[in-house]
């Protein structure tokens, strides 16, 4: 970087450098690191928040938040594994409408679902290795099909994650209410309390969630597997494994409820009814894609190491899922378990009653409480993936920018909070009834399955020159796309009049929302310097860089979509420079926040030629100061640095600080804005700065 020229003749000498503040550590001439004291407000609310959520975690310690395979299995697989507690019951609840003699068909439905599980899991195992940075359906579909199709996958996944929370929590509370009937009248309140608990745990960070969720997940696996083994042993000892009817009579209470709900006549068994039962049973497959989406949270020195750990975890998860689902489906038929219209007792509760009889009766409560715990914590899969997907969409300009930023515990707080509120609203609307919620379930995830696997077929075809085995890989993903596409169509048809139409309508509405938000962020900014009234000459003008950090550029070459992220800052400050020069300064100082040393080096490289060009063109000294913010805050580090900079000047002189202020914004625009500039302005105004001239720079967002 060339040295800046001397100030022009007749101009006052520029002020000397400030003293080094204890709030910032000097790392390079153009880089300082903000301490914790410089990164957050010092007030009672911050101390209370820290005592509740824990101390802030610097970004350099983010690797300590990564998960080993045991922890990842607990967090990312709990949704899929817990679905065995309601998947079999969901299909039985449809078949029972045609009478008790049709329930044996559920065995064949379960077998078809197991085959589908294996196909999807094998397909996603390929996706993990092809996209070691995280192969979510949105990324795969956008990269290989088109950005629009990628947004369809994103919308479908967001809906599925939301419903996963609602269904898992409601099913978990039903499980505990089956063991403790006194709780049945309080199920909705317990549902909302469970959401509040999971939200709090996730606000504390991924690693804390992993430690807490590991215990109930493994207790569930052991107790549920033992229940299946004992249930099979009981069946063998009481008439054989393949009898045509259960040796005992069905639960008379459940049988009475079924007859009263059916009325005087039962439905006729038709192909449509069987397909509807199959569609309901496919809810057992939700969560299979979570590991593919969450590869970056796995431990590993390199992305390929993370991908290998993720692929191994996926294989373990799918084997456990197939075993538990097969055992539950078989025992439900063999022991005569029936789905109750009220949800209590559950099918798994009836199986556990038979398996854990006599001296083993205490184990019945263990398996019920473990089922309750894993179903509640299964919602955590959505808490891991919903905020991450929102952050990626925000990075690409399709969701409010606030979703992109991590909180003090390296968690996407905005996504976590929105998920909690929306899932609570859904539970209230459906009164916590799993049978009603299940009709909306699975369509979103199977749509995402289909688009992701179709994208992988294109991916392998494009790599046919580099990968000799591209044909069989493409065939595997094509089979996965075809089967999941057929299932998605079946679910859409059979569930449409049962509530599935809500999902069908929500996807296009979300697409409209995504594109409107994207349009807003693409609108140009129009500055209005004529509205600046305070025109005092300044020795120096500080320009905080607060625009969106990166611009997403999507270009196509050789039929392939390439996505690049480059810094916008040097391209958006020309107007600010022209306005700053009207204050006749001897020096311009640009201040920006970076979050990593690597990002600091990128910014330094981007600005190197720009600073020299500005200096030579306007014959003025120009500097860039980067503030490394390890705790991911922006407002406080910039405001504190400007405050300390002005206080530490060795020579007197008025310093101007240009703060952009959007005016004439609409109410609907406010959720899309960060309000960082307004907050910096308030912080600086809150202190008495005799040598600071805080300049409001009005701007509007146009077409």
| Residues 23-39 pLDDT 10s | 888 888 889 988 888 77
pLDDT tens-digit map of 553-577? 443 333 343 444 444 444 557 778 8
Same domain, residue pair 335 and 377: yes
In which domain, by residue range, is 317 found? 66-136+166-434+504-516
The pLDDT of residue 151 is 93
Same domain, residue pair 125 and 33: no
Q: Does 18 map to a domain?
A: no
Same domain, residue pair 554 and 614: yes
CA–CA distance from 47 to each of 152, 206, 417 (Å)?
A: 42, 21, 20
Percent of the chain with pLDDT over 70: 82
Expressed in angstroms, the distance from the first to the final Cα of the chain is 37
Residue 398 — very low, low, confident or very high, per pLDDT cuts 50/70/90? Answer: very high
Span 396-419, average pLDDT: 84
Span 385-406, average pLDDT: 87
Buried b (16+ CB within 10 A) or exposed e, 39-76: bbeeeeeeeebeeebeebbbeeeeeebbbeeebbbbbb
Percent of the chain with pLDDT over 90: 7
Collapse the DSSP code of 588 into the 3-class scheme (helix H, G, I; strand E, B; otherwise coil) and give the result. strand
pLDDT tens-digit map of 440-496? 777 888 888 889 889 889 988 888 887 777 888 888 888 888 888 888 888 888 778
Same domain, residue pair 558 and 424: no
Q: Which of 533, 512, 270 is CA-nearest to residue 398?
A: 512
Please say which residue of 447, 482, 516 terminates a domain. 516
The answer for residues whose C-beta is within 8 angstroms of residue 673's C-beta and 6 or more apart is 401, 662, 665
Same domain, residue pair 32 and 108: no
Same domain, residue pair 115 and 219: yes
Q: Does 172 map to a domain?
A: yes
**In the chain, how many domains are there?**
2
Span 259-287, average pLDDT: 71
Span 194-213, average pLDDT: 75
Looking at every residue in the chain, the average pLDDT score rounds to 79
Q: Which of 664, 671, 652, 663 is CA-nearest to residue 697?
A: 663
The answer for residues whose C-beta is within 8 angstroms of residue 475's C-beta and 6 or more apart is none
Please say which residue of 462, 481, 516 terminates a domain. 516
CA 319 to chain centre: 25
CA dihedral (298, 300, 305, 308) positive or negative = negative
Q: Does 2 map to a domain?
A: no
Same domain, residue pair 30 and 103: no
Residues facing 588 on adjacent strands: 541, 622
Same domain, residue pair 585 and 511: no
Tokens 């606000």 belong to 203
Same domain, residue pair 430 and 541: no
CA 487 to chain centre: 25
The pLDDT of residue 688 is 67
Q: How long a stretch of residues is the chain?
A: 703
CATH number of the CATH domain containing 83 = 1.20.1740
> What are the two backbone dihedrals, phi and then psi, of residue 2, each rounded to the nearest 5 degrees?
-70, 150
Same domain, residue pair 32 and 76: no
Residue 117 — very low, low, confident or very high, per pLDDT cuts 50/70/90? Answer: confident
DSSP E strand boundaries for 381-483: none
Whole-angstrom Cα distance, residue 491 to residue 498?
A: 10
Collapse the DSSP code of 241 into the 3-class scheme (helix H, G, I; strand E, B; otherwise coil) and give the result. coil
Q: Does 190 map to a domain?
A: yes
Element (H, E) at 347: helix 347-355
Same domain, residue pair 35 and 107: no
| DSSP per-residue string spanning 489-536 | HHHHHHHGGGTHHHHHHHHHHHHHHHHHHHHHHHSPEEE-GGG-----
Please say which residue of 516, 543, 572 terminates a domain. 516
Same domain, residue pair 87 and 28: no
| Structure token digits, residue 512 | 């409209």
DSSP E strand boundaries for 103-230: none
Q: Give the 3-state DSSP-derived string for 51-80, with helices as H, strands as E and coil as C.
A: HHHCCCCCHHHHHHHCECHHHHHHHHCHHH
């Amino acid at each position: 970087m060339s040295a800046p020229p001397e100030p022009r003749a007749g101009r006052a000498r520029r002020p000397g450098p400030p003293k080094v503040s204890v709030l910032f550590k000097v790392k390079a001439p153009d880089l300082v690191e903000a301490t914790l004291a410089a990164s957050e407000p010092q007030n009672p609310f911050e101390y209370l928040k820290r005592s509740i959520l824990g101390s802030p975690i610097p970004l350099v310690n983010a690797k300590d938040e990564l998960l080993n395979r045991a922890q990842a299995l607990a967090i990312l697989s709990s949704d899929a594994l817990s679905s065995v507690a309601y998947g079999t019951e969901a299909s039985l609840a449809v078949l029972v409408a045609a009478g008790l003699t049709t329930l044996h068909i559920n065995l064949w439905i379960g077998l078809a679902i197991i085959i589908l599980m294996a196909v999807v899991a094998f397909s996603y195992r390929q996706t993990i290795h092809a996209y070691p940075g995280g192969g979510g359906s949105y990324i795969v579909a956008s990269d290989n099909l088109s950005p629009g199709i990628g947004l369809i996958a994103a919308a479908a996944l967001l809906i599925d994650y939301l419903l996963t929370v609602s269904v898992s929590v409601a099913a978990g509370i039903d499980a505990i209410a089956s063991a403790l009937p006194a709780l049945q009248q309080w199920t909705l309140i317990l549902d909302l309390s469970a959401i509040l608990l999971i939200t709090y745990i996730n606000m504390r960070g991924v690693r804390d969630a992993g430690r807490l969720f590991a215990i109930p997940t493994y207790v569930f696996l052991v107790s549920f597997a033992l229940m299946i083994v004992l249930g099979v042993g009981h069946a063998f000892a009481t008439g054989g494994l393949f009898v045509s009817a259960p040796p005992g009579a069905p639960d008379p209470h459940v049988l009475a409820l079924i007859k009263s709900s059916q009325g005087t006549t039962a439905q006729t068994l038709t192909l449509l009814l069987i397909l509807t039962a199959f569609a309901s049973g496919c809810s057992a497959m939700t969560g299979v894609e979570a590991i593919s989406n969450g590869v970056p949270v796995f431990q590993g020195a390199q992305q390929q190491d993370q991908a290998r750990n993720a692929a191994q975890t996926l294989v373990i998860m799918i084997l456990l899922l197939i075993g538990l689902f097969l055992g539950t489906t078989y025992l439900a038929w063999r022991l005569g378990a029936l789905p109750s219209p009220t949800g209590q007792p559950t099918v798994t509760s009836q199986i556990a009653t038979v398996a854990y009889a006599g001296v083993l009766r205490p184990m019945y409560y263990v398996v019920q409480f473990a089922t309750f715990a894993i179903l509640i914590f299964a919602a955590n899969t959505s808490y891991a993936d919903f905020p991450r997907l929102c952050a990626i969409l925000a990075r690409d300009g399709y969701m409010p920018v606030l979703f992109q930023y991590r909180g003090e515990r390296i968690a996407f707080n905005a996504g976590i909070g929105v998920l909690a509120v929306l899932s609570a609203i859904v539970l209230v609307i459906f009164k916590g009834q799993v049978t009603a919620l299940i009709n909306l379930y699975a369509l979103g995830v199977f749509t995402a399955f289909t688009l992701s696997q179709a994208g992988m077929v294109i991916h392998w075809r494009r790599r046919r020159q580099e990968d000799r085995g591209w044909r069989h890989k493409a065939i595997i993903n094509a089979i996965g796309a075809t089967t999941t596409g057929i299932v998605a169509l079946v679910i859409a048809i059979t569930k449409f009049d049962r509530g599935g139409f809500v999902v069908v309508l929500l996807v296009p509405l979300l697409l409209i929302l995504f594109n409107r938000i994207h349009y807003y962020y693409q609108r140009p900014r129009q500055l209005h310097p004529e509205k600046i009234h305070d025109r005092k000459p300044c020795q120096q003008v500080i320009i905080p860089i607060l625009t969106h950090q990166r611009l997403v550029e999507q270009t196509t070459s050789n039929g392939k979509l390439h996505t690049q992220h480059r810094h916008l800052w040097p391209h958006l400050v020309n107007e600010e420079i022209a306005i700053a020069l009207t204050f006749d300064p001897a020096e311009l100082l640009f201040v920006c926040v970076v979050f990593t040393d690597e990002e600091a080096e990128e910014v330094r490289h981007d600005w190197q030629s720009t600073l020299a060009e500005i200096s030579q063109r306007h014959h003025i000294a120009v500097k860039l100061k980067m503030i490394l913010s390890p705790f991911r805050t922006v407002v406080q580090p910039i405001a504190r640095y400007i405050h300390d900079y002005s206080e530490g000047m060795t020579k007197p002189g008025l310093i101007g600080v240009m703060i952009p202020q959007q005016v004439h914004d609409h109410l609907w625009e406010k959720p899309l804005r960060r309000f960082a500039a307004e907050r910096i302005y308030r912080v600086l105004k809150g202190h008495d700065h005799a040598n600071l001239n805080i300049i409001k720079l009005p701007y509007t967002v146009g077409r």
